[in-house]
């Protein structure tokens, strides 16, 4: 299997990062991660984040950035990510008023196009990170596909999250191949359980802290649990093979909740598994 780079979404260890982001980055580097994706900076300046990255040797791959509402906000966000060395920015989430099927989705498409143009001018590629709610049908196709058809490929590429692709009822490997050449980053996320019950994802707050406290859950009272990569229902080798064929340069590990396991223990399990299959 052709080697690719492995990254980690720092949101997966958000409580630890809020206390000591530099320490988290050092531990990830020691585990063998090549880079990190951010979803908040816990009060750190761009210079401080850049210094942490330089110390650890980790690459700032990308950032999850809520869609800015004004041009000034867009310029400010782009400047921050450019300073820490990101090649990518990803729109991570849409509230209910702006999702596919809502009255606000048309505005969302326009805002993504505008933000993507500004990113491109600055040398950053804009991505869209999906959940499962984009898999509603609009004009005979999924809302996610509609979005990618509406915004040109050079302006918007994919950051397919294979957890939500599978959770929505699609086969992740096949879905990745559909976007060959437009899939520079694949989000590796594993889980067990079925659709239904408690909503399985939380909003990412502006400071990156999230709304989940990471507390242990009763296994008899849960329909869904996130797991380290390779420890759930995903056919990870097939997903990785498809990603490589589609041109992915990065596979990013993300685990939204960790239950009775320390998040960095889960991070170690994920990268060890990925190395064991030749990535």
The residue written with tokens 């980790």 in the block is: 58
Largest pairwise CA distance in the chain: 51
CA distance linking residue 158 with residue 189, whole number of Å: 15
For residue 84, what is the domain's CATH number?
3.20.20.150
Joined together, the tokens standing for residue 19 give: 């206390």
The sign of the CA dihedral 100, 106, 108, 114 is positive
Per-residue pLDDT tens digits of the chain, which is 279 residues long: 557 999 999 999 999 999 999 999 999 999 999 999 999 999 999 999 999 999 999 999 999 999 998 999 999 999 999 999 999 999 999 999 999 999 999 999 999 999 999 999 999 999 999 999 999 999 999 999 999 999 999 999 999 999 999 999 999 999 999 999 999 999 999 999 877 655 565 533 333 334 333 333 444 445 688 999 999 999 999 999 999 999 999 999 999 998 889 999 999 999 999 999 999
When computed from its CA atoms, the radius of gyration of the chain, rounded to whole angstroms, is 18
Cα distances (Å, whole numbers) of residue 134 to 120, 159, 160, 169, 243: 24, 13, 11, 12, 20
| DSSP secondary structure of 69-89 | SSHHHHHHHHHHHHHHT-SEE
Q: In the chain, how many domains are there?
A: 1
Domain that holds residue 224: 5-276
CA distance linking residue 45 with residue 47, whole number of Å: 5
Nearest CA to 232 among 184, 162, 178, 169? 162
Nearest CA to 131 among 68, 208, 191? 191
CA distance linking residue 10 with residue 14, whole number of Å: 6
């Amino acid at each position: 299997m052709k080697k690719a780079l492995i990254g980690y979404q720092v949101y997966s260890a958000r409580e630890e990062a809020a206390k000591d982001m530099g320490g988290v980055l050092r531990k990830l580097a020691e585990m063998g991660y090549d880079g990190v994706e951010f979803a908040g900076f816990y009060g750190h300046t761009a210079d401080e984040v850049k210094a942490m990255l330089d110390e650890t040797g980790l690459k700032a791959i990308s950032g999850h950035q809520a869609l800015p509402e004004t041009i000034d906000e867009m310029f400010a966000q782009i400047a921050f990510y450019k300073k820490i060395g990101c090649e990518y920015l990803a729109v991570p989430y849409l509230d209910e008023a702006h999702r596919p099927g809502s009255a606000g989705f048309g505005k969302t498409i326009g805002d993504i196009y505008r933000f993507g143009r500004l990113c491109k001018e600055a040398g950053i590629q804009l991505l869209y990170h999906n959940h499962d709610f984009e898999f509603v049908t609009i004009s005979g196709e999924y809302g996610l596909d509609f979005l990618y058809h509406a915004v040109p490929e050079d302006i918007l590429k994919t950051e397919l999250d294979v957890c939500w692709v599978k959770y929505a009822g699609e086969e992740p490997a096949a879905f990745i191949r559909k976007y060959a050449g437009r899939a520079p980053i694949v989000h590796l996320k594993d889980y067990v359980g079925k659709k239904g019950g408690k909503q399985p994802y939380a909003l990412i707050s502006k400071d990156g802290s999230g709304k989940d406290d990471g507390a242990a859950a009763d296994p008899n009272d849960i329909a869904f649990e996130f797991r380290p990569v390779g420890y759930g229902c995903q056919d990870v080798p097939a997903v990785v093979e498809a990603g490589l064929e589609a041109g992915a340069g990065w596979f990013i590990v993300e685990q939204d909740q960790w239950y009775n396991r320390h998040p960095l223990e889960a991070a170690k399990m994920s990268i060890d598994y990925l190395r064991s299959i030749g990535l």
